């Protein structure tokens, strides 16, 4: 017999209560881990962005276009390394349910600026020579079985071509793969020159510009210089770093990180109350036993340690099961939907956080029972009626 055995046996003494409390811990850590994985997927694309790239769009809205000659004007500013541009095509394949992120990009500069899109050199060269050529993400090519040389008709929900149709003809020139863990492999890029000549209206306009600055440049100064340049034009601009740009687009829907944090805090607060209440109830039920152990010579510290270990065992078991379940589930989700949420990932730091939280929660849950144990007056608790 040792204290560990006693802790172990006491833990499973009220099996239903232990099971239910363990289940609540499991659910809390399942949520925590799942949300952490999803949060990583949503924020990974932002955190992995090149910090020297900036986006310039119309000051009022990104849906408003900018003149194409802004490229030369920005390129002439100090500390600018490269400028490219793009327009949103708003495409789909075959029917509107098959929406695809299709962008017309300046073919000479775009993939030099966005070097995370890895394209075999011969394919990139071929694409630059092919007016109707498209570069397709690997996941998308796999999804539709497209190969280099295939003709692919894509429709736009925005842009009519000069023949009065919304259907545009393309040929697959290359297939890219993103070098980033959370990279998107489901986009299509085609030449802006083809787009500009082919569309029925709004020629010589673009949706946004992408600018790469030299590493030693002062970002704020460059941003001011670009926006000041067009401040009094018909198309004033708003320039941000690419990170801010992507984050703002994501936050148009919901600030996921904030929602996750609120949910996690609420879940943990509830969890602490549940486990704490369980431990308080447990120690009250065992008051006589604790008093007897004190009478036998066990110190308050050793009894408090036992309660801490009991809390730790309960929380560890629940947390391990919850985290394991979430890890397995996220593994399946990543396999099934990895193309849509490529950044699903549980970092080693998360497991460390779980470990730390379990220990902190165990200490917190032993806090109130510790006072009860410390306050036991053996003679009063074990009584004696004479």
Partner 1 sequence: MQNTNDIILKAINKSYQKGDNTVVVHDDFNLTIKSGEFVALMGPSGLGKSTLLHLMGGLDQPTQGEVLIGGQRIDNLPQKKLTQWRAENIGFIFQSHHLLPVLTAQGNVELPLALTPLNRKQRKQHASMALQLVSMSERADHYPKELSGGQEQRVAIARAIVSDPKILLCDEPTGNLDRKTADEILALLAKLNSDSGKTIVMVTHDHKAAEYASRVINLESYILSQNNSLSKNEELLQNIEPEVDDISIGASS
Count of residues of this chain found to bind partner 1 when the rule CB under 8 A is applied: 27
Q: Is 3 in the site for partner 1 (CB under 8 A)?
A: yes
Q: Which backbone phi and psi does 127 adopt, to 5 degrees?
A: -65, -40
Give the footprint of partner 1 on residues 318-337 (CB under 8 A): none
The residue within the footprint of partner 1, chosen from 10, 33, 207, 237 (CB under 8 A), is: 10
Give the footprint of partner 1 on residues 136-155 (CB under 8 A): none
Q: Which residues contact 347 (CB under 8 A, 6 or more apart)?
A: 40
- DSSP assignments along 107-139, one per residue: TTTHHHH-TTEE--HHHHHHHHH-TTEEEEEHH
CA atoms within 13 Å, Cβ hemisphere of 369? 30
* Cβ proximity to partner 1, 212 vs 286, nearer residue: 286
Structure tokens at 180: 């980033």
Q: Which stretch binds partner 1 (CB under 8 A): 21-29, 113-121, 246-254, 376-384?
A: 376-384
321 neighbors 16 (Cβ within 8 angstroms):
no
**Minimal distance, residue 312 CB to partner 1, in Å:** 18
Q: Is 383 in the site for partner 1 (CB under 8 A)?
A: yes
Q: Where does the chain have alpha helices with state H?
A: 3-11, 15-47, 70-75, 110-113, 121-129, 138-144, 192-198, 219-229, 242-251, 256-285, 287-296, 300-337, 348-374, 378-382
Interaxial angle between packed helices 256-285 and 287-296, expressed in degrees from 0 to 180 and rounded to the nearest 10: 70
In a 3-state reduction of DSSP, which class is residue 96?
Answer: coil
The residue within the footprint of partner 1, chosen from 217, 321, 329, 382 (CB under 8 A), is: 382
* Cβ proximity to partner 1, 18 vs 110, nearer residue: 18
* Cβ proximity to partner 1, 167 vs 288, nearer residue: 288
Q: Is 16 in the site for partner 1 (CB under 8 A)?
A: no
Q: Which backbone phi and psi does 368 adopt, to 5 degrees?
A: -70, -45
* Cβ proximity to partner 1, 79 vs 289, nearer residue: 289
Counting beta carbons within 10 angstroms of the beta carbon of residue 167, is it exposed (0 to 12), middle (13 to 18) or buried (19 or more)? exposed
Antiparallel, parallel or unpaired: β 208-213 and 53-58: antiparallel
Q: Which stretch binds partner 1 (CB under 8 A): 84-92, 235-243, 328-336, 372-380?
A: 372-380
Q: Is 13 in the site for partner 1 (CB under 8 A)?
A: yes
**Minimal distance, residue 328 CB to partner 1, in Å:** 33
Question: CA-to-CA distance for 243 and 129, rounded, in angstroms?
Answer: 32
* Cβ proximity to partner 1, 213 vs 314, nearer residue: 314
188 neighbors 48 (Cβ within 8 angstroms):
no
182 neighbors 343 (Cβ within 8 angstroms):
yes
Give the footprint of partner 1 on residues 261-300 (CB under 8 A): 288-289, 291-299
* Cβ proximity to partner 1, 8 vs 337, nearer residue: 8
Strand partners, 104: 87, 190
**Minimal distance, residue 370 CB to partner 1, in Å:** 15
**Minimal distance, residue 30 CB to partner 1, in Å:** 30
Question: CA-to-CA distance for 361 and 120, rounded, in angstroms?
Answer: 52
* Cβ proximity to partner 1, 151 vs 374, nearer residue: 374
* Cβ proximity to partner 1, 215 vs 296, nearer residue: 296
**Minimal distance, residue 318 CB to partner 1, in Å:** 21
* Cβ proximity to partner 1, 13 vs 203, nearer residue: 13
**Minimal distance, residue 379 CB to partner 1, in Å:** 4
Q: Is 164 in the site for partner 1 (CB under 8 A)?
A: no
* Cβ proximity to partner 1, 9 vs 197, nearer residue: 9
**Minimal distance, residue 304 CB to partner 1, in Å:** 13
86 neighbors 104 (Cβ within 8 angstroms):
yes
Question: CA-to-CA distance for 169 and 150, rounded, in angstroms?
Answer: 11
**Minimal distance, residue 315 CB to partner 1, in Å:** 20
Give residues in contact with partner 1 (CB under 8 A).
1-3, 5-6, 9-10, 13, 288-289, 291-299, 377-379, 382-386
């Amino acid at each position: 017999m040792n204290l560990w055995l006693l802790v172990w046996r006491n833990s499973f003494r009220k099996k239903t209560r232990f099971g239910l409390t363990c289940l609540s811990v499991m659910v809390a850590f399942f949520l925590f881990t799942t949300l952490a994985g999803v949060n990583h997927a949503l924020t990974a694309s932002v955190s992995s962005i090149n910090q020297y790239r900036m986006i310039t769009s119309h000051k009022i809205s990104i849906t408003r276009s900018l003149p194409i000659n802004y490229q030369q004007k920005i390129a002439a500013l100090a500390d600018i390394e490269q400028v490219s541009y793009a327009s949103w095509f708003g495409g789909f394949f075959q029917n509107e349910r098959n929406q695809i992120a299709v962008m017309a990009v300046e073919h000479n500069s775009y993939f030099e600026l966005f070097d995370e899109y890895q394209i075999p050199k011969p394919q990139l060269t071929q694409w630059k020579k092919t007016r109707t050529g498209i570069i397709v993400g690997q996941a998308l090519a796999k999804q539709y079985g497209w190969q280099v040389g295939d003709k692919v008709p894509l429709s736009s929900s925005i842009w009519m071509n000069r023949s009065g149709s919304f259907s545009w003809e393309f040929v697959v020139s290359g297939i890219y793969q993103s070098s980033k863990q959370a990279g998107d492999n489901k986009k299509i890029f085609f030449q802006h020159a083809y787009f500009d000549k082919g569309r029925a209206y709004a020629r010589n306009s673009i949706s946004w510009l992408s600018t790469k600055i030299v590493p030693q440049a002062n970002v704020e100064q460059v941003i001011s210089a670009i926006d000041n340049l067009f401040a009094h034009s018909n198309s004033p601009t708003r320039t941000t770093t690419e990170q801010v740009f992507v984050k703002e687009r994501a936050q148009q829907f919901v600030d996921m990180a904030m929602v996750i944090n609120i949910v996690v805090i609420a879940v943990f607060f509830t969890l602490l109350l549940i486990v704490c209440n369980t431990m308080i109830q447990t120690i009250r039920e065992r008051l006589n036993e604790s008093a007897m152990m004190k009478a036998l010579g066990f110190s308050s510290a050793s009894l408090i340690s036992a309660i801490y270990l009991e809390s730790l065992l309960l929380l560890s078991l629940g947390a391990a099961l919850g985290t394991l379940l979430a890890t397995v589930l996220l593994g399946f989700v990543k396999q099934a939907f990895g193309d849509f949420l490529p950044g699903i990932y549980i970092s080693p730091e998360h497991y460390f956080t779980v470990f730390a939280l379990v220990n902190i929660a165990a200490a917190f849950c032993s806090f109130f029972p510790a006072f009860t144990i410390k306050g036991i007056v053996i003679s009063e608790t074990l009584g004696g009626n004479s």
